[in-house]
Amino acid sequence: MSDTAAAGAAHAAHGHHEELGFLRTYVFSTDHKMIGRQFLFLGLFMLLIGGLLAMMIRWELAWPETAVPGLKFIPEPFMYGGIIPPNTYNALFTMHATIMIFFVVMPIMVGSFGNFLIPLMIGARDMAFPKLNLLSFWVGAVAGVVMLAGFFVAGGPAASGWTGYATLSARAQYTGVEWGQNLWIISLLILGISSLMGSINYITTIINMRAPGMTYFRMPLTIWSLFITAILLLLALPVLTAALAMLLFDRTMGTSFFLPEGGGQPLLWQHMFWFFGHPEVYILVLPAMGVTSDLLSTFSRKPIFGYHAMAFSMIAIAFLSWTVWGHHMFVSGMNPLLGTAFMMTTMVIAVPSAIKTFNWLGTLWGGSIRFSVPMLFALGFVSNFLIGGLSGIFMASTPVDIFIHDTYYIVAHFHYVVAGIIFALFAAVYYWFPKMFGRMTNEPLGKIHFVLTYIFFNGAFFPMHFLGVAGHMRRIYNPTQYEFLQPMQHWNVFITVSALILGASQIFFLFNFFWSLFAGKKAERNPWQANTLEWIAASPPPHGNFEVQPVVYRGPYEYSSPEVKEDWLPQDKNLGTGAAARAH
């Protein structure tokens, strides 16, 4: 480890400054910071698309089969004078989920912040494999283009849900979608390659390129979370890739992996999909947990409560995440005895999540809390994760799941967990914006953005629990077709109004982001008075990141330490005599 770091330091000492052209600097860059920014812009662009799709879904559910304002221009058969037909509706929620999971949360939380932060926070000059990193982004971008291409082919995009359950997804005649579904499969196959390259890079970098003194248990929890996420990605994605390849063969080459008429098994798809899919949930949420831990500590001016428990609970989650996939399949026709076994493992995985929540509370206790915009969003994440975690216990209990499976209760649950990640995402963007772009964001605008997002997020997702309790099924196009759901329709209207305002509130973010990019106040090196290594680099850090190789003397959470007068103590600060005095 220290050899590599020393070599890096020597390299930096040469004053290596090669002027790169526009293309090499902004487009085909091998600099981890530029790649991180590229992933951020890709993710934000896709967030806009995924969000607009959600607005269309919500319109349909509140006011079924009425024209969506402003969408009269969309041609038949995708829409009819602004009215969404049922097959388009299925395509909308399929693409909404696929885009949000694979092209928003993964590129931003893993792609962008992983790339930007790993070298900076462990004190390295760049990633272990910069060219692989460049390739990872561009392969990911190609996957995004292929996914969006589904909107422009005959038959429209994939319409069998983001879970793509066979046999619905395995034969074009069942959905009427021919190439859209194929493109969906191909896009995710390509994205798998991108993720694989990224995860190998992350793991190698964290193992080999930590600065001198940066032991594993001095790494910030953000790095721990990204490290564990990368290992999960490396192991989970190939399973999805295998399943997708089999599905593509079933669709295009006449195989019958999932088709019973040829001897195949529809449930095989579900086992493979969820064997990937449940670790995937933690791939999405672990980085959010890591970021939240760092932010709560920094803005409480207090060490994280139970650092080792936090790291080990993430490791426990990573191991247990391989043993719970069957809880998505309690009523699938899987052997009910397996259901009992998966219920047990699922209940167990709730424990490390509970530990994390309590430790976050412990971090706030006795703090000196600064309500900055990133802190507000981090607290918002904790509050949503609490609800999402608790609602998960209902569906872990197999008998209760019989009733709430495939209802809006599930939709509420996973939006509190997965859509709740958007709070950690915004927290991270506001927190590291000064480091990424060298400018501060506007604080009042950020606070307005937080308040509106928090209120209308809960307005949009909390009442979905009520619908679920009433038995409202997922993925239905028109709830008013069911007599037992008619008394609940006003909640659908309430949810849609909240969702529309939630969507509109993001204008405050977009405006703040782009305005600050060009006209924000110049950021100093360490505007938040934080301890981790990225804050000793310039804002934004130059090529090679650090002027001198940082050396790490302590963990990342020494806030309000009695050793110093200030309430922060950077990881690289050499206290000299103090340290010697303590050593005797």
Partner 1 sequence: MLQWLPENVSTFGGEIDSLFYLIYYITAATFILVTVLMVVFLVMYREQPGRRATYTHGNTSLEIIWTIIPAAILIVLSFMSVSTWAKVKQRAPDSDFELQVAAKQFNWEVVYPGADGKFGTDDDVKFDNDLHVPVNKVVRVQLSSKDVIHSFFLPNLRLKQDAVPGRTILVWFEATKPGKYELPCAELCGFGHSGMKGWLYVHTPEEYAKWAGENLAAKAQ
Span of 262-270, 430-438, 498-506, 529-537 interacting with partner 1 by CB under 8 A: 262-270
- CB neighbour list of residue 104: distance below 8 Å, 6 or more residues apart: 43, 46, 47, 50
Cα distance between residue 506 and residue 449, in whole Å: 7
Counting Cα atoms < 13 Å in the Cβ hemisphere of 439 gives 13
Q: Which two tokens stand for residue 37?
A: 């920014």
Backbone angles phi, psi at 443, to 5 degrees: -70, -50
Q: Kindly indicate which of the ranges 198-206, 286-294, 472-480, 521-529 contains the residues binding partner 1, using the contact rule CB under 8 A.
A: 472-480
Single out the residue of 417, 460, 559, 572 in contact with partner 1 (rule: CB under 8 A).
559
Interactions with partner 1, residue window 290-309 (CB under 8 A): 300-307, 309
Shortest distance, CB of residue 319 to partner 1, whole angstroms? 16
Kindly state whether residue 469 participates in binding partner 1, applying the rule CB under 8 A.
yes
Q: Is 544 left (phi over 0), alpha (psi -120 to 50) or beta?
A: left
Q: Which of 72, 525, 567, 578 binds partner 1 (CB under 8 A)?
A: 567
Could you tell me if 426 and 289 are in contact, meaning their C-beta atoms sit under 8 angstroms apart? no
DSSP 312-329: HHHHHHHHHTTS-GGGG-
All residues at 6 or more sequence positions from 391 whose CB lies less than 8 Å from its CB, including other chains: 409, 412, 413, 416, 465
State the nearest-atom distance from the C-beta of 303 to partner 1, in Å: 5
Is residue 451 at the binding interface for partner 1, with CB under 8 A as the rule?
no
Under DSSP, is residue 170 helix (H, G, I), strand (E, B) or coil?
coil
In the chain, the largest separation of any two C-alpha atoms, in whole Å, equals 80
Query: Which 326-345 residues touch partner 1, going by CB under 8 A?
Result: 331-333, 336-337, 339-340, 343-344
- Single residue of 16, 475, 490, 521 touching partner 1 by CB under 8 A: 475
Scanning residues 1 to 40, which ones bind partner 1 (CB under 8 A)? Answer: none
Among 210, 218, 439, 465, binds partner 1 (CB under 8 A): 465
Contacts to partner 1 from residues 350-409, by CB under 8 A:
350-351, 354-355, 357-359, 361-362, 364-371, 379, 382-383, 386-387, 390-391, 393-394, 396-400, 402-403, 405-407
Residues 171-210 contacting partner 1, CB under 8 A = 174-176
| Rounded Cα distance, 440 and 16, in Å | 29
Q: Should residue 159 be labelled a site residue for partner 1 when binding is judged by CB under 8 A?
A: yes
Q: How far apart are CA 302 and CA 163, in angstroms?
A: 42
Q: With H, G, I as helix, E, B as strand and everything else as coil, classify residue 80.
A: strand
| Smallest separation, CB 124 to partner 1 (Å) | 26
Site for partner 1 in 85-104 (CB under 8 A): 85-87, 89-90
Give the sign of the dihedral formed by CA 360, CA 361, CA 365, CA 370.
Answer: positive
If one asks whether residue 253 binds partner 1 (CB under 8 A), the answer comes out as no
Q: Does 466 bind partner 1 (CB under 8 A)?
A: yes
Q: What is the DSSP string of 393-407?
A: HHHHSHHHHHHHTTB
Q: Which of 45, 165, 494, 515 binds partner 1 (CB under 8 A)?
A: 165
Output the smallest distance, CB 400 to partner 1, in A: 5
Which residue among 113, 282, 557, 570 contacts partner 1 (CB under 8 A)?
A: 557
Min separation Cβ 347 and partner 1, Å: 4
Specify the amino acid at residue 91: A
In the list 471, 503, 527, 540, the residue contacting partner 1 (rule: CB under 8 A) is 471
